[in-house]
Each structure stands twice: as structure tokens, then as C-alpha cells.
Amino acid sequence: MQSQRLIKLQKQLRRKTGNAISDYHMIDGGDLIMVCLSGGKDSYTLLDMLLGLQSVAPVKFELIAVNLDQKQPGFPEHVLPNYLEALNVEYRIVEQDTYSIVKKKIAPGKTTCSLCSRLRRGILYNTAQELGANKIALGHHMDDLVETMFMNMFHGSRLKTMPPKLVSDDKRNIVIRPLVYCREKDIAHYAKRKEYPIIPCNLCGSQPNLERSRIKNILTEWDKQSPDRIGNIFRSMQNITSSHLLDTSLFDFESMNADTTTVNNEKVLVFNAQPH
């Protein structure tokens, strides 16, 4: 029997997932959603949340779990099929040896994530088309979005992150991230209590010096100092004041002008400008 603590955490995560889906209009009636299942805590939780919401949602949608077997040495091929069959979840295992490609193209000691992600993304997009899925669900959570924003700020000089919903690069699919309101630490606690059969990534997991890891460590320290700081950073991405940033493509600084008006019988300057 599930403990009361687990039930409470499940309800909390399911509520946040449902709110994110509603706020960003992620799911429509008749959708076939391809749930990308890596074998990590985030994707297991994503599938769990969508299965739970499927039975109570006001619209009907279908799910199919997809795992990309990248032929990493020692990958336990039986784990996900056994897990999904026990749940009676429709699934597809896609076998593509991207591991060999990445190891051949990337010099030892260099970061493999960028190439690995591009290869994986292209394969998954094609798989969605083959399956007739019109939505692709990924397991990125709140911490991922905050980390990505800092990555782009520090290394790309851009204020951007991963959006909760977007059109895929090939323009053929809609990508959704239903866990964007969920904290990673809550997902980790939930996955541990659910005892998911976690499959580690041996390709990128052996790269402890990744810049994303450094940023994660910074955010972890901030979270210890102020538990709501990550949430505040995330909410700031939902509350943009374009006139108080510096992007001339978002705000019409050029046509800004000063007019005079009367307030309490005194003339004051009023600055007028319009967002683009």
C-alpha cells in the first residue's frame, strides 16, 4: 500500500502537471502523445503523471511510450519492455547506434551532449511521424528550464530557455514539457519512493565537468540558502517587462517621446512608447 507521504507527493506533482498542461494548452482531444522514455527519473515520472491524468482529463488522448536504444555498452534492454508491459502501456523501442557515431565524432574528453542530443532528436521526430503521433512529451522540469536560461546567458548571451510548448525543428510535431511546474527534488523523491528501475546514461554520465553540472551546483547552493529562489527565478520568466530590458526588437525605444500633462495642477513629463 502506498504511504500517505507518497500519495500526497503524487497529488502535488499531478496537480502541477495538470496546471502546466492547462496553462500552456499542451493537450487537445484526440491527441496521440509520444512519451519519450529514457529510463531516468524524469521520464518515468512524466509517464506516470500522464497516465494518471489520462483517466480523469476532460478530453480523450492516447499515449505511446518510446525509448531510443542508442546501443550504449551494457544497456539493459529488458528493463523498459518489462516495466511497460507490466503497466499494459503501448510502447516502441527504437534501436539506433548513435553511441558509435558520437564516440567516433567527438574527441576523448570533449562534451558529447550536443551531438548526442541532435541525433536523438532527429530520430525521435521521425519516429513520431511513423507512429502518427502529433505531440512529443519530454520530461524536462522547472530546474532544467532555469539551468538552461543560465546556460544561454553565460555562453550564448541570450535570455532564453526551453519553452513548455513549441513546434519542433522539422515543423512536423508539437513538443510539450508537462513537468515544467515540478521541482527536480520532488521528482527525485517521488521516483525513489516509486522504486523505478532507473537506467543510468553511461555516455554522458561520466562527464562530471560539464558546464551544466557547474550551474546545477550553483543553483543547489542557492536552493539551500533560500528554498523558493529557483521558483522565483522560474516565475520571473513568466513575468517579462520588456520596457525594462534592452532588446530593441521587443520594445520601441526609438519612438519614445516625452509629453506634458497636468497632474494636481502641475505639468509633468509622460514618456510614451509601445512594445513591438
pLDDT at 75: 84
pLDDT at 205: 47
Show me where the domains of the chain are located: 4-236, 246-272
Alpha-carbon distance 150 to 157, whole Å?
A: 10
Alpha-carbon distance 216 to 234, whole Å?
A: 14
Quick one: CA dihedral 183, 184, 189, 194, positive or negative? positive
pLDDT at 190: 97
Residue position matching grid coordinates 532528436: 121
pLDDT at 171: 84
Segment-wise mean pLDDT, segments of 10 residues, the chain, 276 residues: 86 98 97 96 98 94 94 87 97 87 72 73 92 97 96 94 91 94 97 94 56 90 93 96 92 79 61 65
pLDDT at 170: 75
Give the helix ranges, DSSP H, for the chain: 4-23, 41-54, 79-87, 98-105, 113-131, 142-156, 184-194, 211-225, 229-236
Pairing of strands 62-69, 32-36: parallel
Spell out the residues 6+ positions from residue 230 whose beta carbon is closer than 8 angstroms to its own.
142, 143, 146, 183, 219, 222, 223
pLDDT at 223: 93
| Residues making up the chain, counted from first to last | 276
Cβ neighbourhood burial of 257 (10 Å; 0-12, 13-18, 19+): exposed
pLDDT at 9: 97
Domain with residues 4-236, CATH architecture: 3-Layer(aba) Sandwich (3.40)
DSSP 140-183: --HHHHHHHHHHHHHHH-------SEEE-TTSS-EEE-TTTTS-
pLDDT at 272: 63
Q: Do residues 242 and 251 lie in contact, with contact meaning Cβ atoms separated by under 8 Å? A: yes
pLDDT at 94: 93
Alpha-carbon distance 168 to 171, whole Å?
A: 5
Residue position matching grid coordinates 512519451: 35
